[in-house]
A = this chain, B = another copy of it.
Amino acid sequence: MDKINLGRLLVGRPLETKELPHQAISRPVGLAVFASDALSSTAYATEEILITLAAAVGVGAAASAAGSVFGLSIPIAIAISILLVIVTISYRQTIYAYPNGGGAYIVARDNLGEVPAQIAGAALLTDYILTVAVSVSSGVAQITSFPAFRSLQPYRVQMAVTVIVLITIINLRGVKESGRIFAIPTYFFLLMMFLTLGSGLVQLLTGTLGTVDPESVEMFHQETVHNLGLFLILSAFSRGCTALTGIEAISNGITAFKKPRSHNAAVTLIWMSSILITLFLGITVLAHQIEAIPSHTETIISQMARTVHGDAGILYALTLAGTALILLMAANTSYADFPRLAALAAADGFLPRQLTYRGGRLVFSWGIMLLALFAIVLVVIFNASTTSLIPLYAIGVFLSFTISQTGMVVRARRIGRLKPGESAAGMETPLEYDPYWRRHMLISGFGAVCTFIVMLVFAVTKFTEGAWFVLLLLPTLVLIFFRIHRHYKDVAKALSWESVPPDTTPRPVKTLILVDDVHMETVRLVNFAKSLQHPWQAIHVGVNPEKSEKIVEKWQKRIGEGELVILPSPYRLLAEPIREYVESLQQENPGCFVHVIMGHLAMDTFWAQALHQNTAFIFNLTFAQMDNVVFTTVPYQIHRPSHAEMEAYKPDNEDIIVSR
């Protein structure tokens, strides 16, 4: 039975439970692993601001007019950076309070209760899916911005889907030693970006910095041209806030760090935010200096890199490659986050329990496949356009920021009620007296208010562009989560010892065998039915009266014992007539088990099996709904006959219609 197994080949050999990694990582590796999501957003955040502002630049407006409008991107980016600082300081507290990992779901569950926790859960799960869709779409846009690959632009959707499928396969394999391999793209990206920004700065200071030739780029096509008003500025601000996505990653992954974990994680968070702000502001300023043009055929990063490094430069290609790589890494982090959070919610009984099972390779396979499926659907619907996906994106991130920080406020308030030296258990991390609780509460509270306001701005300015969908989706998801929870409670109740008095007194068993034709498989069925030594009957569902007659004949000639009942079926249904017959049998013999037995032709290979109607599956579904009906399949293995056997075989004219 040594077969080549496609699944095994793609996904690898199974791993033992004890092989779960318990490897602690250093700060530089931690930065690489957890920062890719946050840092990669600089690849599109500036672009999104410019695209929004482009609505105020009339088609064919003078370059100077366009320049002054696009110049607004700089104060907007500064405002976003300030918000980033606030959120960073607030999350630093969470890291110290939850050294075992303090994602929004855990903080909310611990401090605010089930409903806010499930809202945070729904928001985060949605955002992990969007991270994959947005990052892969932007990554593909970077690649197709490169002149040599520009002819691939019509295939962006197909490319994005292929990339998602590849990431999915890699993650189904499970990534061992992931940290160190992940470090390479992150640092490569940082190197290329700082090189580009640095060269740009030098060229700016020496007055040699070029600008983007407006003829070379097709400007983003905007349907309606607004006037430049507060709405547009807020709109640009909220789109730019995508730069903050991914900042919570470190607080989820504290346990991965070397001890002292919280301290190392907190330092890494500060590093990450500093780099993020530097990059984001640097890109925004440089984009303005080179008069970059928001476009859907060439990304801002591409325009920047080719202006600084030259059209044909290898550095241009490397910058784009680095950007595409870190975007893939960002998508990849969702493949760890989504399944882990889904497993957490599933263990709490709010998502299907299947999501808690680790597959053969120790990864949450169902979660990974679910994530891939939804991300592919999004990429296809939104044509792999980052700009179309963004309005769906940041709202959930800011909702989870708000919930998480509100949770921290409640926590600080509870700590405030403790007496000096007192502590309170019963939570994820026990509450301990802290004289600075007021300060913590203020910081978290201020963060919560800021992110809440941004969320509102986002919901209003992006409402018609897609935010409405998320605002509708999140409550729906929460409702579904609670219905699932109710279901599991119902099942536990139904299976509990108190619901019915247990009784295992033997009962009579009536055996029915389902007969499709009379051949060697039928012999096996009759053999098993006789071996059971309960009263038995054979049943044939007659779709075709001529065939039924032949079968009765064959039965008499070949089996010659027992009773064969023909049940007519003018609608060609198979399960219905049998169901009715079983019900009448149960009425005649109350309290008995009806034992339905059918054959199953088992082939050596999947493909051979696929050539047969696997009717057993349909019957299984039917009989599962009937009380006291037990369903049995008796397999009959078909092995390929040898050449000699086939040569010797003379088909019998009245023989074999293999219709199952």
Residues of A within 8 A of B (CB): 1, 14-18, 154-155, 157-158, 352-354, 357-358, 360, 380-381, 383, 484, 487-500, 502-509, 519-521, 523, 526-528, 530-534, 543, 558-559, 561, 570-573, 593, 595, 600-602, 608, 610-613, 616, 620, 623-627, 629-635, 637-641, 645-646, 649, 651-652, 655-656, 658-659
Contacts and interface: CB of A to CB of B under 8 A. Distances in A.
6 contacts: A158-B383, A352-B611, A353-B659, A484-B611, A490-B641, A492-B655
A633 B509 CA distance: 15
A282 to B, nearest CB: 33
Contacts of A484: 611
Contacts of A358: 572
A46 to B, nearest CB: 24
B620 A633 contact: yes
Given A493-B649, A635-B624, A14 B527 contact: no
Given A496-B519, A527-B503, A353 B658 contact: yes
Contacts of A506: 527, 530-531, 533
B499 A520 contact: yes
B528 A487 contact: no
Contact of A613 (B14, B354, B495, B500): B354
A233 to B, nearest CB: 27
Contacts of A651: 492-493, 496
Contact of A631 (B491, B611, B635, B646): B635
Contact of A626 (B508, B520, B620, B635): B635
B155 A383 contact: yes
Contact of A527 (B487, B491, B504, B530): B504
Given A358-B572, A652-B497, A632 B635 contact: no
Contacts of A507: 527, 531
A520 B500 contact: yes
A12 to B, nearest CB: 13
A619 to B, nearest CB: 11
A656 B496 contact: yes
A498 B656 CA distance: 12
Given A506-B531, A527-B503, A638-B491, A14 B610 contact: no
A495, A506, A634, A649: most-surrounded residue (chain B CB, <10 A):
A495
B521 A495 contact: yes
A509 B532 contact: yes
A149 to B, nearest CB: 15
B649 A14 contact: no
Contacts of A505: 527, 530
A50 to B, nearest CB: 21
Contacts of A502: 520, 523, 558
A497 B655 contact: yes
A523, A624, A632, A641: most-surrounded residue (chain B CB, <10 A):
A624
A69 to B, nearest CB: 25
A624 B652 contact: no
Contact of A360 (B571, B626, B640): B571
Contacts of A158: 380-381, 383
A369 B593 CA distance: 39
Given A358-B572, A492-B655, A528-B630, 14 more contacts: A1-B625, A17-B570, A17-B571, A360-B572, A488-B658, A490-B641, A491-B601, A493-B651, A494-B638, A495-B658, A496-B652, A602-B624, A625-B637, A631-B632
